[in-house]
Structure 1
Amino acid sequence: MACKAGRSLLCISLVAVLLLVETATPHGQAYAIDCSARCGYRCSKSGRAKMCLRACGTCCQRCGCVPPGTSGNENVCPCYANMTTHNGRHKCP
């Protein structure tokens, strides 16, 4: 009886640890980036800075990355490059 209880406790503990790891890191990345700083630079030349920062921040949190530079370079972060709006338009600046 003690073995079964020990195994179930081990299983529950393992599931709890895996859930914590998965929810603590975006898409399995082992580190967090400073989205506000990266998006601030990414949107620095935008004509609509507030809208750019809002979209970039959402994309950064979901993907865990922001392409370098103020535009382009999206091949560095495929998740960021492929995210679209409900209307099918490119979401991330």
Structure 2
Amino acid sequence: MVAMNGTRPDDRLSELVSLELASLDPYGLRPGAEGGAPANEYDLEARDIATLLRSKPSLSSDDIDRVWYDWFGESLTAKVGRERVTDLLLRLIRLK
């Protein structure tokens, strides 16, 4: 199914996850800001997390940390702290 704006629901979930990751901005890259990284900086990681959101009945911070470790060699929790990851996790779950 394709929405009127031409995006598929799967694509839209990935976009929303990417926006959440950009808001968290664990590396201070300022995606989409003038002089910052491209707005789609976290799209690849977002796709992996969106896949988990679609396929798992529940998502945990360990799931997010595994994706992050695959991409960056460190857990997101180690980078930004448990509280920020928990806040992200709650926002991501609401996207389902």
Name the TM-score, length of structure 1 as normaliser. 0.29
- By relative contact order (CA 8 Å, sep 6+), the higher-ranking structure is 2
- Which of the pair has more CA radius of gyration? 1
